[in-house]
C-alpha cells in the first residue's frame, strides 16, 4: 500500500480515501493487516548502522603523514635503532588517540525521532476497538485519537470534534493547529493540511478519528529521518585547509626525502646511513605536534564558549563559527519567546498597549469582582471576559514547590497573563464568579462561551472567539449603529493582522436571574461587544542587539520559518532583518530552479511556510554561493538543515532531542545572543590557531633544512656521519617542546577588532603570502643559527682533544638546545602577528611565562639527566655553550622585530 504515497490524501474526501485504501470506519481485518504488514514493513524509522569504534580508530591511521612515520618506524627498527623506532611509533599512537577522541560521538539522531511516537495505538480491527503496538500499524488502519495522544502515523481525518494538534516539531508554528475533515488544495503545505495529522505530533484538545495513509519512513517525520541519513555534514574550512597543508607537506617530504637519499648515496653513504638520513629528515619535517595543538586550542575555545552558554559538540565547529557568513535562524523559540503574549486591548474607543505583568499600569486588584478603579473602567468587562471564559490555570511547580507554572492552551495562557497586568486575584475572581455552564471551543463555530453567576446573582454569558465568528452574534444599542461597529471591528482586526498578530473578539450577554443555568442555542445571539485582544509570539528582547552585532561582524542573518508570512515579516521588521518586507514562501521556493534559488537567497532574508526539504535546499543554495552557513533551530523539522549546515545550532531548553543530536552546537539558554558570543570566541580561536601555525611550521621546516644541509655538505669523519641531530632529538623538539610552548598561544586575548571585521573568506588560503614569508624567514634563521652553533661546538670540543663521539653528542645537544631557545624567543613574537613586542600587554597572558619556564626546565632535564641522555643521545653542556645558544636564539626577536616594523610602515594593508 505504500506505493500509493504519491496520492495527495489531503485533497480527497474521507469517503474517497477509505475507498482507495479498501478500509472503513470498522477498520480492516486482522488477516488483511497481517498481509499489509508483510508487504509494507513495520511502522518504525530505519537508520543506517552506526560506525563502530574500531572503524573510527582505524581511520585515525589513514593519513599520508602517518604513513611516512610508519615507514620511518619500520626502517629505524630494521636498522637496529630500537629506541628511535619506539619513540616515533609512540608519536603515531598519541596522534591516533587524539583523533579518536575528537571523532567519537555518542549522538544518536534517529533515536530521538523514535521517542516522538507512542508505544501503542487505539484502533478498529475486525469491527472491534483494540490497542496494538504502533510498529504493527499498516496503511488502512482506522485510528481513534483523543486529547493527550501522540499521533502514531500520518492520518487522513474522517471525524473531528474540537480538535487541535501541536505540530510545532514539524511546522514551527507556535499555536496548536485546528483540524477538520474538509479536503484542502492538493498543493497545500504540511502546515495547511488541516484535514490530516502527522506521526509524532500531539493532540492537545478534542477527539478525532482517521485512517492511516503513511507509515514508517513514508511519514512526514520519516521523510525527515531519510533526509538526515542522506545528508552529509560538510568539513569545516579549517579542516579542509589543514588537509591541503598536510597533503602538500607529504608530497614535499617524499620528494625531499628521496632527494636526500639519492644525495647520500651519491656522497658514498652506505644504504643504511642514506636511508636513516632520509628518515631523520622525514621525522624532522613532519609537524607531529600540530594535531595535538589544534585539538587543545579548539578545546580551550570550547570551554570558553560553554561559560557563555554555547556548548560545542564537535571541536572543528569552534573554528567554523569564526568563519560564518550567514546565520539561518528559525523564528519560533529562537528569535521569539515561543509563548503568546497579548500586545493590545481594543474596545471600540481606544487602543491600550499591554505592558509586562507586574508593571504599574491601568488597573488595580479586583477584590469584590465588581469594580476596577476608574483608570481601567472602560476595560473592566473585557478583562473579566478574558479571565473567566478561559480554561487555563496556574499550578504550583512540582520541582520548585514555589513557582507557579501556566497549564493550558497557549492562547488562553496569554489571556490570563494579560489580566495579571491589572493585578487580578484569579482564584478569588473565579470563586466569586462561579461557572455554571460552558460551551467548549468548536473549530466549526470558532467560539467558546461560559455562563457565570455574578456576585450580584446575575447570570452572565462571556464569549470569546475569532472576530469573524463573533461579529454576527453582536448587537449594539446606543449611539453607534451595528454596521458602523462591524466596520470598526473589521478595520481594527485588519490593522492588527498586518502587524502579524492573532486577534480574538470578546462579548457578553446578561440573562434573566430566573433563567436556566445552562447555555442554549437561542442564547447565542444579541451579545454586547466588549473588545478585541491582539496577541503575538514576541521577539526576545536581546535578539535585536545580537543581530546588530552580527551585522557589524559582516554576518547576514536570515529567518527561515514554517510560520505565516505576515507574522514572519513583522518579526523580521522588528528585529531589523528587513526593511522592504520581502518574504518568500515555501510554495514559491519550490517553483524556483537551483540557479534562480541561488540568486534569490542573496537578496531575500525572510522565508515563510517552508518545509524541512525547503530548509535543506536553502542551506545548500547558500553554500553553493560560497557562504559558510550556521543554521539555528529547535524542532524536528530543523534537523536535516542543522546537519547539512556548516554549523548547526540547536536550542538547549526548547530544542528536541533530534535537533540537539543533529547540531554541532547547543545554546544552553535558548538565547540568540549566545550565538554572537560564540562567533566572537570562534574568531578568537581562529586567530590563535594562525599564531600556532606561524609558530609550529618554521620549526619543522627549519629542522628539515638542518638535516638537508647536513646531508648535502657535512663530511663523514672516522666512519661517523656528521648530523646536527638524530630522529629522537627532532621528535623531542617537534612534539614535546612545540606543544608545551604553543599551548599558551591558544590562551591569548582576542584582538580588539575581532567583531568589527568581515568573516574570513571560505576560499582564502589558510596561510597568506605574509605568513608564508614569515615562516620561511624564521625557518632560515633557525636553521642557520642551529647549524652554525653545531659546527662551532663540534670543532671546539675536538680542539680540546675529546673523542669524536663525545664531540658529536655535545654538538648535537647544543644544536637541539639552540632550536628550543629559538622557539622560546619566537613564541614571544608570535603573541601578535602584527604588533611589535612593546605594544603587547606584558601580563595579559601569564601562561606564556609558565610555558617558557616549563620548557626550560624540561630542556635542562634533556641535557643533564642520565636517563634522558641515554634515550635521546645527549650530553651535558657547559655554561658557555648555554650562553652562546641564548645569544644566537635571541637574534630571532631582533630580526622579526625589524620585519614587523617594515610591514607596519610599508605593507600595513596586507592581510595576515
DSSP state of 44: S
Three-state SS at 20 = helix
Strands 556-560 and 326-329: parallel
Alpha-carbon distances, residue 564 vs 41, 300, 798 (angstroms): 36, 42, 87
From 409, 312, 278, 173, select the one nearest 666 (Cα to Cα). 312
Whether the CB-CB separation of 93 and 646 falls below 8 Å is answered with no
From 650, 614, 588, 679, select the one nearest 326 (Cα to Cα). 679
Told to judge if 330 belongs to the known catalytic residues of this protein, a careful annotator would answer yes
User: Within 13 Å, how many C-alpha atoms sit on residue 122's CB side?
Assistant: 11
224-234 exposure pattern, b = at least 16 Cβ within 10 A, e = fewer: bbbbbbebebb
Whether the CB-CB separation of 346 and 352 falls below 8 Å is answered with yes
Whether the CB-CB separation of 692 and 297 falls below 8 Å is answered with yes
Three-state SS at 62 = coil
For 394, phi then psi, to 5°, come to -110, 125
Distance CA 312, CA 685 (A): 13
Distance CA 96, CA 528 (A): 77
Whether the CB-CB separation of 282 and 68 falls below 8 Å is answered with yes
Q: Which three cell numbers stand for residue 884?
A: 652562546
The 10 Å Cβ neighbour count of residue 711 is: 26
From 381, 203, 238, select the one nearest 321 (Cα to Cα). 238
Catalytic hit among 141, 154, 330, 687: 330
78-87 exposure pattern, b = at least 16 Cβ within 10 A, e = fewer: ebebebbbeb
Instruction: State which H helix or E strand residue 213 sits in.
Output: strand 202-214
Q: Which residues pair with residue 559 across a beta bridge?
A: 329, 606
| Maximum Cα–Cα distance across the chain | 128
Three-state SS at 508 = strand
Name the E strands within 476-526: 502-511
Three-state SS at 201 = coil
For 315, phi then psi, to 5°, come to -60, -40
3-state secondary structure 430-467: HHHCCEEEEEEEECCCCEEEEEEECCCCCEEEEEEECH
Q: Which three cell numbers stand for residue 72?
A: 620511518
Alpha-carbon distances, residue 293 vs 60, 243, 290, 387, 402 (angstroms): 16, 15, 5, 61, 48
3-state secondary structure 131-195: EEEHHHCCCCCEEEEECCCECCCEEEEEEEEEEEEECHHHHCCCCCEECCCCCCCCCCCHHHCCC
Residues 6+ apart with CB under 8 A from 678: 305, 308, 310, 312, 321, 665
Distance CA 408, CA 426 (A): 15
Whether the CB-CB separation of 137 and 212 falls below 8 Å is answered with yes
Distance CA 569, CA 555 (A): 20
Signed CA dihedral, 82, 84, 85, 90: sign only: positive
Active site residues: 330
Amino acid at each position: 500500500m505504500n506505493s500509493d504515497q504519491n496520492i495527495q490524501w489531503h485533497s480527497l474526501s474521507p469517503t474517497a480515501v477509505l475507498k482507495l485504501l479498501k478500509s472503513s470506519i470498522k477498520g480492516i481485518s486482522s488477516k488483511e493487516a497481517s498481509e499489509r504488514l508483510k508487504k509494507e514493513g513495520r511502522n518504525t524509522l530505519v537508520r543506517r548502522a552506526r560506525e563502530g569504534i574500531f572503524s573510527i580508530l582505524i581511520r585515525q591511521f589513514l593519513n599520508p603523514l602517518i604513513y611516512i612515520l610508519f615507514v620511518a618506524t619500520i626502517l629505524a627498527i630494521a636498522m637496529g635503532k630500537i629506541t628511535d623506532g619506539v619513540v616515533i611509533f609512540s608519536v603515531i599512537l598519541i596522534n591516533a588517540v587524539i583523533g579518536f577522541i575528537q571523532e567519537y560521538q555518542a549522538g544518536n539522531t534517529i533515536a530521538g525521532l523514535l521517542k516522538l511516537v507512542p508505544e501503542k495505538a487505539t484502533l478498529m480491527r475486525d469491527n472491534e476497538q483494540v490497542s496494538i503496538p504502533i510498529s504493527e500499524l499498516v496503511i488502512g488502519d482506522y485510528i481513534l485519537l483523543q486529547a493527550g495522544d501522540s499521533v502514531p502515523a500520518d492520518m487522513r481525518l474522517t471525524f473531528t470534534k474540537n480538535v487541535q494538534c501541536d505540530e510545532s516539531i514539524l511546522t514551527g508554528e507556535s499555536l496548536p493547529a485546528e483540524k477538520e475533515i474538509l479536503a484542502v488544495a492538493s498543493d497545500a503545505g504540511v502546515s495547511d493540511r488541516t484535514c490530516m495529522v502527522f506521526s509524532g505530533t500531539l493532540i492537545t484538545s478534542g477527539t478525532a478519528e482517521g485512517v492511516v495513509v503513511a507509515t514508517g519512513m513514508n511519514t512526514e517525520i520519516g521523510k525527515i529521518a531519510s533526509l538526515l541519513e542522506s545528508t552529509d555534514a560538510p568539513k569545516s574550512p579549517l579542516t579542509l585547509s589543514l588537509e591541503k597543508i598536510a597533503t602538500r607537506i607529504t608530497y614535499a617530504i617524499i620528494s625531499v626525502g628521496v632527494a636526500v637519499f639519492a644525495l647520500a648515496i651519491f656522497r658514498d653513504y652506505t644504504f643504511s646511513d642514506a636511508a636513516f638520513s632520509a628518515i631523520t629528515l622525514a621525522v624532522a619535517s613532519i609537524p607531529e605536534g600540530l594535531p595535538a595543538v589544534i585539538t587543545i586550542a579548539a578545546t580551550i575555545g570550547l570551554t570558553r564558549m560553554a561559560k557563555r552558554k554555547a556548548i560545542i559538540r564537535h571541536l572543528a565547529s569552534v573554528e567554523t563559527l569564526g568563519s560564518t557568513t550567514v546565520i539561518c535562524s528559525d523564528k519560533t523559540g529562537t528569535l521569539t519567546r515561543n509563548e503568546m503574549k497579548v500586545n493590545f486591548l481594543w474596545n471600540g474607543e481606544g487602543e491600550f498597549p499591554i505592558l509586562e505583568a507586574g508593571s504599574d499600569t491601568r488597573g488595580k486588584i479586583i477584590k469584590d469582582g465588581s469594580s476596577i478603579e476608574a483608570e481601567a473602567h472602560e476595560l473592566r468587562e473585557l478583562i473579566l471576559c478574558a479571565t473567566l471564559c478561559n480554561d487555563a490555570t496556574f499550578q504550583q511547580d512540582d520541582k520548585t514547590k514555589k513557582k507557579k507554572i501556566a497549564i493550558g492552551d497557549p492562547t488562553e495562557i496569554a489571556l490570563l497573563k494579560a489580566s495579571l497586568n491589572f493585578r487580578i486575584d484569579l482564584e478569588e475572581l473565579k470563586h466569586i464568579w462561579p461557572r455554571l455552564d460552558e460551551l467548549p471551543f468548536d473549530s466549526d463555530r470558532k467560539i467558546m462561551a461560559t455562563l457565570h453567576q455574578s456576585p450580584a446573582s446575575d447570570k452572565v454569558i462571556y464569549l470569546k472567539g475569532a472576530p469573524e465568528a463573533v461579529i454576527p452574534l453582536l448587537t449594539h444599542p446606543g449611539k453607534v449603529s451595528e454596521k458602523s461597529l462591524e466596520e470598526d471591528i473589521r478595520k481594527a482586526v485588519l490593522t492588527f493582522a498586518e502587524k502579524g498578530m492573532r486577534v480574538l473578539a470578546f462579548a457578553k450577554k446578561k440573562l434573566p436571574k430566573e433563567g436556566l443555568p445552562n447555555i442554549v442555542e437561542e442564547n447565542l445571539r444579541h451579545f454586547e461587544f466588549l473588545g478585541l485582544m491582539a496577541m503575538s509570539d514576541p521577539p526576545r528582547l536581546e535578539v535585536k542587539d545580537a543581530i546588530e552585532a552580527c551585522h557589524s561582524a559582516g554576518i547576514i542573518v536570515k529567518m527561515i520559518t514554517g510560520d505565516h508570512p505576515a507574522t514572519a515579516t513583522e518579526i523580521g521588521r522588528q528585529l531589523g532583518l528587513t526593511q522592504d518586507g520581502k518574504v518568500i514562501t515555501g510554495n514559491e521556493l519550490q517553483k524556483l530552479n537551483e540557479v534562480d534559488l541561488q540568486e534569490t537567497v542573496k537578496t531575500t532574508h525572510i522565508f515563510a511556510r517552508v518545509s524541512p526539504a525547503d530548509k535543506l535546499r536553502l542551506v545548500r543554495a547558500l553554500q553553493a554561493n560560497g557562504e559558510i552557513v550556521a543554521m539555528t533551530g529547535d524542532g524536528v523539522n530543523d534537523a536535516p538543515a542543522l546537519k547539512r549546515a556548516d554549523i548547526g545550532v540547536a536550542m538547549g531548553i526548547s530544542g528536541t532531542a533530534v535537533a540537539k543530536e543533529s547540531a554541532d552546537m547547543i545554546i544552553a539558554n535558548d538565547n540568540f545572543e549566545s550565538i554572537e558570543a560564540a562567533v566572537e570566541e570562534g574568531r578568537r580561536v581562529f586567530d590563535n590557531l594562525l599564531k600556532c601555525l606561524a609558530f609550529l611550521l618554521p620549526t619543522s621546516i627549519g629542522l628539515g633544512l638542518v638535516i638537508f644541509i647536513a646531508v648535502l655538505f657535512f663530511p663523514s669523519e672516522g666512519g661517523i656521519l656528521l648530523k646536527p641531530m638524530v630522529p629522537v632529538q627532532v621528535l623531542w623538539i617537534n612534539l614535546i617542546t612545540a606543544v608545551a610552548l604553543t599551548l599558551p598561544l591558544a590562551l591569548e586575548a582576542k584582538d580588539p577588532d575581532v567583531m568589527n571585521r568581515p568573516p574570513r573568506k571560505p576560499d582564502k588560503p589558510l596561510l597568506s603570502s605574509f605568513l608564508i614569508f614569515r615562516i620561511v624567514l624564521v625557518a632560515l634563521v633557525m636553521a642557520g643559527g642551529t647549524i652554525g652553533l653545531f659546527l662551532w661546538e663540534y670543532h671546539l670540543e675536538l680542539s680540546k682533544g675529546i673523542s669524536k663521539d663525545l664531540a658529536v653528542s655535545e654538538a648535537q645537544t647544543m644544536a637541539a638546545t639552540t632550536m628550543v631557545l629559538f622557539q622560546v624567543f619566537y613564541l614571544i613574537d608570535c603573541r601578535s602577528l602584527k604588533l611589535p613586542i612593546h605594544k603587547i600587554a606584558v601580563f595579559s597572558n601569564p601562561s606564556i611565562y609558565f610555558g617558557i619556564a616549563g620548557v626550560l626546565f624540561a630542556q635542562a632535564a634533556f641535557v643533564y639527566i642520565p636517563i634522558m641522555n641515554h634515550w635521546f643521545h645527549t650530553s651535558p653542556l657547559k655554561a658557555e655553550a648555554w650562553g652562546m645558544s641564548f645569544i644566537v636564539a635571541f637574534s630571532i626577536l631582533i630580526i622579526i622585530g625589524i620585519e614587523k616594523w617594515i610591514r607596519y610602515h610599508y605593507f600595513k594593508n596586507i592581510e595576515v
